[in-house]
Structure 1
Amino acid sequence: MNILIHPTYFPNVAHVAAMAQANEVTFEMDDNYQKQTYRNRTYIYAANGILQLSVPVIHSQKDRQKYRDLKISNVENWQAIHWKSLESAYKTSPFFEYYEDELRHLFTEKADYLLDFNLKCMNTVFDCLQLDLKSSKTEIYQKTLEDKSDYRFLVNARKQISYNFDTYTQVFNDKHGFIPNLSILDVLFNEGTNALNYLESQYKHIS
């Protein structure tokens, strides 16, 4: 199975479950940027429940702007804020210390373009998961597909799809119960070396 999917900021469980089961993943590189999507946001499990982490971007005055051309706004040190949020949420998780050195550079090295940064984050996560992904990138935008399964719909954060994902132990389970389909980082920090097995077993819920 070859799937077409949007690169997103630390993609959620549905995104990675689809990629983990694919024979080949093609990343959409030529679409227009849209607000209210996972392109620049991810959700983690903090002490008070779901916490949104958003990458600030510089919007063009044009009606349409290519995702690949969208610049990140570095007026504020959002990377440090995101890292502190991750530390606060997951420092007591079983595998935070195991992966923090592999991830920390993503929050200290300056990022200029959102799409490039998202691909960098995803490749780092794939290394942590030991997920050997055969991938390619689009050169033109195609609305309809003939030779790939279209998973671009997963990027829409406004359309909340209720997935019946299997539960795993989360840091604040006792406070708020199980919260499904969070950032891949939630699975990584809580499940560690079992994370890929978990993700592969969740494809049945989105197929």
Structure 2
Amino acid sequence: MNNTKVLLATSFFAPIQYYCKLIQYPEIVIEQWEHYSKQSYRNRCNIYGANGVLPLSIPVVKATNKKVLTKDVKISYDTNWQKLHWKGIEAAYKSSPFYEYYIDDLERFFTQKWDSLLEYNNEIQSEIFGILELEPNIQFTNDFIEFGSPEFDDFREIIHPKSSKQGPDNTFKAKAYTQVFGDKYGFIENLSILDLIFNLGPDSLDYLESVHSNL
């Protein structure tokens, strides 16, 4: 951690590593002026299903221009992906300790429609902040911030679902906790924040603090 500011991409039910940054840094800046990057956490999250990692992806409207800004990305409802996501989350976590405690607060994200991916992700993030009892200082970029800016610790591309694209992060090291299908496939690290809150509930914030406090 070299700076007090962290630069992140928007994220759909972001991974645990992402939420660690939200409690590590006094100032969080989320990039909205970048060219939208496909196959990233911007429109995807990974949960722990009955057969292992289950990716949930939000379809977006194809832009007429190849380069579309993240702030302009629109969600597509050509398929009923919300229903599929809801069923996937239910199947994965219905037997988890805190599913019934939190699921009603999350239902609207699978029944209501948002036009903008960025706004949808922001609403989800605000709901998760309430669950975790977090009040981070979040701002959004006014213009694209070039890579290598000395003002920020930049994790826009480091936090990525593809291991081949992940960058080094010496301030995060996952620790095992009990997961619903852990007896079958073992511990799977750095899944969506959903996995943490459904399994650990009120202890989720303590976990986030613990995975970087001893580094």
Matches within 5 A, 1:163-178: 164-178=173-187
TM-score, normalization: structure 2?
A: 0.90
1:151 partnered with 2:155: yes
My pick for the range that moved more, 61-70 or 189-198, is 61-70
State the SS of the aligned residue for 1:198: helix
Secondary structure of the equivalent of 1:141? coil
More deviation, 189-198/142-151: 142-151
Shift of 1:164: 4.0
Counterpart Cα distance in 2 of 1:19 and 1:45: 23
Residue number among 24, 38, 42 corresponding to 1:39 in the alignment: 42
How far did 1:62 drift? 1.2
CA distance in 1, matches of 2:63, 2:53: 30
1: distance between equivalents of 2:183 and 2:151? 45
Aligned length in residues: 206
Equivalent residues of 2:49, 2:181 under 8 A apart: yes
Please state how far the C-alpha of 1:115 moved relative to its aligned partner: 1.1
Answer yes or no: is the 8 Å Cα contact 1:14–1:203 preserved in 2. Answer: no
Decide whether the 8 Å contact of 1:10 with 1:183 is kept in 2. Answer: yes
Match of 2:126 among 117, 123, 126: 123
Cα distance 1:71–1:185, how it changes in 2: closer, same or farther (>3 A)?
same
CA distances 1:94-124 after superposition (whole Å, capped 9, x unpaired): 0011101111111111121111111111111
SS at match of 1:187: helix
Give TM-score scaled by structure 1 length: 0.94
Identity among equivalent positions (%) equals 40
- Structure 1 gaps of 5+ residues are none
Alignment partner, residue 9 of structure 2: 6
Give the C-alpha shift of residue 203 in structure 1: 2.7
Q: Aligned-pair distance for 1:146?
A: 3.1
**Range that drifts further, 8-17 or 58-67:** 58-67
SS in 1 for 2:175: coil
Give runs of aligned pairs for residues 183-202 of structure 1, distance below 5 A.
183-202=192-211
1:29 aligns with 2:32: yes
Distance 2:31 2:167 in 1: 21
Tell me the CA shift for residue 152 of structure 1: 1.2
Residue of structure 2 equivalent to 1:139: 142
Q: Which runs of 5+ in 2 are unaligned?
A: none
Cα deviation digits, residues 4-37 of structure 1 (max 9, x gap): 1111000001111111111111111111101121
Q: Aligned partners of 2:191, 2:204: CA distance in 1, in Å?
A: 13
